[in-house]
Structure 1
Amino acid sequence: MMVAKMLVASRLYVGIAALVTLIAVLLRFSMRPPIVQSRLWTAEELVLYNGNNNGLPILLGILGSVFDVTKGRSHYGPGGAYHHFAGRDASRAFISGNFTGDGLTDSLQGLSSVEVKGVVDWRDFYFRSYTFVGKLVGRYYDSEGRATKSLKGVEAKAARGAQLLEKQKEEEAKLPSCNSKWSQDEGGEVWCSEGYPRLIQRPLEIAITGKMSKRCVCFNEEELGKPGLEVYEGCGPLAKVCKLN
């Protein structure tokens, strides 16, 4: 009799444990945000998915493409480092780093071709890493979900940026770059194993970024008379190592 009672109690315990487990699983799934179906979105709808409502997924837009980033809630939810991207298309901020006010816009006006390429690269990252859930009606897609002239213009400009970067890479490969290092205690320095360090203007930089910049190149002594070569400040004309201020 005692054995029979123990068997009944054991089975009852197993049954209760299984029921508790089932309830826990059901509760866990019921608390998950619903799966978002791919569709067209308006800005007014998208803002509701900014992570402030735990019952909804977290969505963001970039160049009019909308992605479910709920699996990155720690980053995109309230208090997360990327929360400013949630519930909106802030394409410009991906490259500008301006996460306030007018910086959180989808307009890329005034950005260089390489900067625009950077935004397109970010969009490609989201396609690889998160779930695409539709298109945002507005600057980049019309009410039928068709790409607008703005989107086509952005993609064409990004392609030009990629071409310019490749051309610059090919041009710079023709001239050996200086070695360089920097430390907080000693500052920076550049040096040449062969030749002498000189600053030269990057020939395509204005076309690429809209700004002028220079790079350090090692030149042989017989080349030092070429126009456009600049000696580092405080560095002798035949010094092979130059300290940076």
Structure 2
Amino acid sequence: MVTKGMEANEQEQREKQRFPPCNAEWSSAKGSRLWCSQKSGGVHRDWIGVPRKLYKPGAKEPHCVCVRTTGPPSDQQDNPRHSNRGDLDNPNLEEYTGCPPLAVTCSFPL
């Protein structure tokens, strides 16, 4: 049981490195804002990324993650024939309506 728990934690950490959580803020005056930075979600990395909805199997709602926009997909690091779109083509991701596809920040006024 302990081993399974440790494996699940390691998997969660790998997923967080691949898709770190977005920064988010909300105010009654301005509405919501989501954005990515090189350390959003507490995950330090050499890329910024763009906000996307990540749908996880079994989860009721998606959550905002930062997605790498260049290079090979994370699951194809050794593939020399990639589309240079990072993880943007992952089937579990969805763009935010009203947010430009490569915007680092998305605002949703009230």
Length-normalised TM-score, structure 1: 0.27
237 and 225 in structure 1: CA distance in 2 versus 1, 3 angstrom threshold: same
Answering whether residue 95 of structure 2 is matched by residue 231 of structure 1, we say yes
Q: Residue 63 of structure 2: SS of its match in structure 1?
A: strand
Equivalent in the alignment of 1:97: none
Report the RMSD for the aligned CA atoms in angstroms.
2.2
Q: What amino acid maps onto 2:23 in structure 1?
A: N
**What is the Cα deviation at residue 226 of structure 1?**
1.8
**What is the Cα deviation at residue 227 of structure 1?**
1.4
Pick aligned residue for 1:217 from 65, 70, 85? 65
Deviation string, structure 1 residues 141-196 (Cα, Å, up to 9, x no partner): xxxxxxxxxxxxxxxxxxxxxx6xx75x9265342111100111001110011011
Pick aligned residue for 2:52 from 189, 193, 198? 198
173 and 204 in structure 1: CA distance in 2 versus 1, 3 angstrom threshold: farther
Deviation string, structure 1 residues 219-242 (Cα, Å, up to 9, x no partner): 111221221211111001011111
Equivalent in the alignment of 1:244: 108
Equivalent in the alignment of 2:20: 176
Alignment of 1:103-142 (within 5 A): none
Equivalent in the alignment of 2:74: none
**What is the Cα deviation at residue 243 of structure 1?**
1.4
220-229 or 176-185: which moved more? Answer: 220-229
220 and 173 in structure 1: CA distance in 2 versus 1, 3 angstrom threshold: closer
Larger Rg: 1
Pick aligned residue for 2:31 from 183, 187, 193? 187
Distance 2:56 2:92 in 1: 11
Which of 1 and 2 has higher RCO (CA within 8 Å, sep 6+)?
A: 2
Structure 1 residues without counterparts, runs of 5 or longer:
1-162, 206-211
**What is the Cα deviation at residue 201 of structure 1?**
0.7
Distance 1:173 1:218 in 2: 10
Distance 1:228 1:173 in 2: 14
Structure 2 residues without counterparts, runs of 5 or longer:
38-47, 70-84
Q: What amino acid maps onto 1:213 in structure 2?
A: E
Q: What amino acid maps onto 1:190 in structure 2?
A: L
Distance 1:197 1:244 in 2: 13
Q: What amino acid maps onto 1:233 in structure 2?
A: T
Q: Which has the higher helix share?
A: 1
Distance 1:202 1:226 in 2: 12
Equivalent in the alignment of 2:82: none
Q: Which has the higher strand share?
A: 2
Alignment of 1:56-95 (within 5 A): none
